[in-house]
Chains A and B, each alone.
Chain A
C-alpha cells in the first residue's frame, strides 16, 4: 500500500524559477493538503482541497498554486521561487477533513 507519494525528494531551484511538487494518494481520500515545515515553527498549512475540483487557501498561500483535477493527485506549483520558500514540503491526505492525516515523505526544497 503506497499511501501518500511525493516527488521529488530533493530539489534545488534558482530564484525566479518555477516548478511543481507532485503528490498522489491511493487511499481514495477526499481531503488533501500541503504543509511547509520550517525550523522552530512546526508545520503550516499552504493550501488544501476537500475534493476534486475544490481548493482553498491555508495560512501561508502566497507564491503557491494548487489544483485538484482528480481525487488521487494534488500538485503544488511554485510560480516564481524565492529564497523564503526554502523549506521542507509535506503533502497529506485524510478520509475527511477532520480525521487523522497521512503524510508523504516530504520534499526538501532549496532556493538559491
Chain B
C-alpha cells in the first residue's frame, strides 16, 4: 500500500536558519503530494501542494518540489521564524486503487525555532 516517510524529529533551529524536512513516499500511479502544518492546539492547515512530477508548491516562504525519480517531496525554507514552530506533515492522495480519497500521512516532524 501507499506510505509516506518523514525525517525523524524533533528539529530545533535558531531563527533565520535554513530548514529542510525530508519526505519520501511509496505509491503506485501518480499521487498528489501535500505538506500540512499543525500549530499547537489547532487542526491541520494545508501549507502547499503539488499534483504532478516537477511541480513546485510554495507558500509563506516554504517550498517543495515533486520529484518522481527520487519519490521525494522535501520541505524547505530559507529563513525560519519563531512563528514557524509547529508540527509538519507530509501526505499524499492516490487517485487509483482502493485508496479513494484517502490521505496517507507521514508521522509528522516537530519543528521548534528559538529566537
Contacts and interface: CB of A to CB of B under 8 A. Distances in A.
Interface of A: 4, 31, 33, 35, 40-45, 48, 50, 56, 58-59, 90, 92, 94, 96-98, 100-106
Interface stretch (B11-19, B69-77, B103-111): B103-111
Interface string B26-38: 0000001010100
Interface residues of B, number: 21
Contacts of A94: 101
B79 interface: no
A43 B103 contact: yes
Nearest to B100: A97
Interface in B16-51: 32, 34, 36, 42-46, 49
Given A97-B100, A97-B101, A102-B46, 14 more contacts: A4-B43, A42-B4, A42-B108, A43-B105, A48-B100, A50-B101, A90-B44, A96-B101, A98-B93, A98-B95, A98-B101, A103-B36, A103-B44, A104-B43
A50 B95 CA distance: 13
Q: Which of A42, A50, A90 has the most CB of B within 10 A?
A: A42
Contacts of A97: 93, 100-101
B114 interface: no
B48 to A, nearest CB: 10
A42 B106 contact: yes
Interface of B: 4, 32, 34, 36, 42-46, 49, 89, 93, 95, 100-103, 105-108
A97 B11 CA distance: 32
Contact of A100 (B43, B46, B107, B108): B46
Given A41-B107, A98-B32, A31 B101 contact: yes
Nearest to A105: B43
B106 A103 contact: no
